[in-house]
Structure 1
Amino acid sequence: MSIQMKGLTDFQRDLYDIAIKEMPKEAPKLMRKIGSKARKTVAKKSRSLVKKKTGMYHKKWKRGKVFVGYQGELVVRVYNSSPHAHLVEDGHWMVDHEGNKTGDFVQGKKPLDKGMREFETSGDVEKETVKWLDELLKKKKL
């Protein structure tokens, strides 16, 4: 899932493009900050959707490293490192203690997808980007 910035003016968009090209070491700082906010939003959404509090599922939400994607854009991932996170996300067949299927399928709760959609509509990406651009202008780096 990718996040698009829609709330920036043309001037801000031009400043953003210049900042990315001229100061490549400043852009990952912004992406880490945005990734951390996304992680908080997703973790909060997962706590509201997944009520069972056994294990470490709720404590294992992480923000990955910033890296360059396929089209040259900066990317940061939000993921859950618990071993059963994919079962909560996608759903699973119920099995007994020997590993035999009992026939019941538990639907996935999709906390990552729902949390990222909530983060995308919140406008935090645009707010953080505008704040970052203002700081660069105040420090006279742009």
Structure 2
Amino acid sequence: MASTGFDTSELARLARQMGQAGEDLRRQVKPFLRKEGTKLKSLTAREARKVGKKTGKYRKSIKRGKPYVYGGTNAIRVYSYAPHAHLIEEGHRMVTHDGREVGFVRGHHVFETAARNFFPRFQADLEDFLDEAVRDL
């Protein structure tokens, strides 16, 4: 009596390779995010130069954070630790020392503009990163 069967050793080897590729990809995500965060930081600093203030404290306060998991996805942030950054970003009322309002300074939206300009570049870099990861499979 002859029995017929399937040889699944090749399928098992492919599954092991795919599992290893997933681990390799997880290890490469943080360095990729750091690199992209640095690019976004430099673009944000370039946008901040357009504000026109020459003190440099605002521009020097723009930093890149560490990669973290937010809502199940990997993320990295670019932020400013300057105490007046939100005033430049969102705008503020001009008030005299006696409390009288004399005008409003419109916000420059530096971070928003930089993020909007960076998005296509990030998508292209992400596609290249994923293509390279699949190619290494």
C-alpha displacement at 1:109, in angstroms? Answer: 0.7
Q: TM-score, normalised by structure 1?
A: 0.71
Structure exhibiting the larger radius of gyration computed from Cα positions: 2
3-state SS of 1:26 partner: helix
Q: Where does 1:35-114 land on structure 2 (aligned, <5 Å)?
A: 35-48=37-50, 50-70=51-71, 72-97=72-97, 100-114=99-113
Deviation of 1:104 after TM superposition, in Å, equals: 0.9
- Tell me how far 1:90 sits from its aligned partner: 0.5
SS at match of 2:27: coil
CA RMSD between the two structures: 2.5
Moved beyond 4 Å, runs of 4+: none
Structure 1 unaligned regions, length at least 5: 1-17
For 2:21 and 2:91, the matched residues in 1 are separated by 40
Unaligned runs of at least 5 residues, structure 2:
1-18
The count of residues paired between Structure 1 and Structure 2 equals 118
| 1:25 partner SS | helix
Normalized per residue, which structure has more helix? Answer: 2
Higher RCO (C-alpha under 8 Å, 6+ residues apart) = 1
**Alignment identity in percent?**
34
